[in-house]
Structure 1
Amino acid sequence: MHADAYFGEDIATFGDRVAAAREAAGLSQAQLARRMGIKTSTIESWEEDRAEPRANKLQMLSGLLNVSIIWLMSGQGEGVTVIESDEMADISEVLSELRTIRTDQQRLTERLARLEKRLRLQLG
């Protein structure tokens, strides 16, 4: 996830943390609500800091979003990792290099197979 204007560890509210964790998990409000068996408007209320979940829903929420309950409530502990834009550039560069290596590897594998076939024909 990239750093958003609304989310900063030092100023984030409960709702900000819920929204950030939900987005990091790749879920829409509707998808999260469906998985929790609640209305989308309830998720909206949590994210807008108009309401907070009861303990049982908070536990389910933290499990679905893969963050700690403590982090959701206070911002301390295991939460989402905010990736800065310069880190994203580094990650994109590494992914690009991995794709290049994979393409080169496929080409070399095909070349190796052709050579093996040629060798078998000459030996056989």
Structure 2
Amino acid sequence: MTAETEEKWFDPEATTFGDRLAGAREMAGMTQAQLAKRLGVKKKTMDDWENDLRGPRAMRLSMLAGLLNVSLLWLLTGEGDGPGEPGIANSYVRGSHQLLDEIRAISAQMALNAERLARVEEELHALLKDDDDGAA
């Protein structure tokens, strides 16, 4: 970061989504690989997000905000509760709304995974039935 961007790294006029994501991740003391693993995405995906090549979907945005202890609004626009200034300890504590958002995001992911598991299980049962029918 240059002196100017270091001074204004959180300014909504001076930063992109990727800048805010990278800054908040660094403030949280995580590497790209660590955050990617916690989100269930590839490190390349995290790199693309931080370089503004593409952005996360809504569910991942909510999870990112929760994991990085920033508001969703700040992550998207630079306004709202951010991680504080670089090099300064952050006393941000997630409030009930942020915790509820994270619970909703986790619940949505679990529901999607449950549906996916059911589809795979049905497919496996169909394959096993076909194998049993073919062997008879």
Report which of the two structures shows the higher radius of gyration computed on alpha carbons.
Answer: 1
For residue 12 of structure 1, what is the aligned residue in structure 2?
Answer: 15
For residue 34 of structure 1, what is the aligned residue in structure 2?
Answer: 37
1:1-124 matched pairs, under 5 angstroms: 4=6, 7-9=9-11, 10-83=13-86
Q: CA deviation at 1:8?
A: 4.6
Aligned-partner residue type, residue 82 of structure 2: G
Q: How far apart, in 1, do the equivalents of 2:47 and 2:38 lie?
A: 15
Q: How far apart, in 1, do the equivalents of 2:83 and 2:10 lie?
A: 11
Q: How far apart, in 1, do the equivalents of 2:64 and 2:52 lie?
A: 15
Tell me: higher relative CO, structure 1 or 2? Use CA pairs within 8 A at least 6 residues apart.
1
- Name stretches of at least 5 consecutive residues in structure 2 with no aligned partner: 90-136
Q: How big is the alpha-carbon RMSD for the aligned residues of Structure 1 and Structure 2?
A: 2.2
Q: How far apart, in 2, do the equivalents of 1:83 and 1:39 lie?
A: 26
Secondary structure of 1:77's match?
A: coil
Asked if 2 retains the 8 angstrom alpha-carbon contact of 1:6 and 1:16, the reply is no
Shift in CA distance, 6/47, structure 1 to aligned 2, threshold 3 Å: farther
- Name stretches of at least 5 consecutive residues in structure 1 with no aligned partner: 92-124
- Sequence identity of aligned pairs in percent? 48
Secondary structure of 1:19's match?
A: helix
- TM-score norm. by structure 1 comes to 0.61
Q: CA deviation at 1:29?
A: 0.1
Shift in CA distance, 39/14, structure 1 to aligned 2, threshold 3 Å: same
Shift in CA distance, 5/41, structure 1 to aligned 2, threshold 3 Å: farther
